[in-house]
Amino acid sequence: MISAERETQATKVNDLLAAVPDLIDEMNHNEELSKATIQITPARLTGLKDFSSVVGMIMNLLYVYYAARKYHFKVLDITDWVVD
């Protein structure tokens, strides 16, 4: 739509006819997407992003909780041969 010339009726029609194969391909692609087994809609994608953020936050909180209990910055949990 942006690149179509609209100066005269003939150029409008010529540009439309030149774009028909691309439009048909896009319509076929949209039809295949609508018949797909797993449909990824914007709402589902947003929900998936939110879910992955919550899972990541839970994993990080568990790591911080257990790391703070096991590792302390004053007491190294490293064997002596590594320090040497």
Bigger pLDDT: 25 vs 1: 25
Are 34 and 45 within one domain? no
- Mean pLDDT in the chain? 84
pLDDT digits (tens, 9 = 90+) for 16-50: 888 889 999 999 999 998 888 888 888 999 999 99
Number of structural domains (the chain) is 2
Specify the pLDDT at position 51: 98
Q: What is the pTM of this model?
A: 0.46
Q: What is the pLDDT, as a whole number, of residue 70? A: 60
Same domain, 16 and 45: no
Q: Are residues 55 and 82 in the same domain?
A: yes
Residues 20 and 32 in one domain: yes
Tracing tokens 């096991």 back to the chain, one arrives at 70
Q: How many Å apart are CA 59 and CA 51, to the nearest integer?
A: 12
User: In 10 A of CB 15, how many CB atoms?
Assistant: 14
Please indicate, yes or no, whether residues 57 and 23 belong to a single structural domain of this protein: no
Range(s) of the domain holding residue 27: 1-39
pLDDT of residue 55: 98
Residues 30 and 49 in one domain: no
Same domain, 25 and 56: no
46, 32: one domain: no
| pLDDT value of position 75 | 67
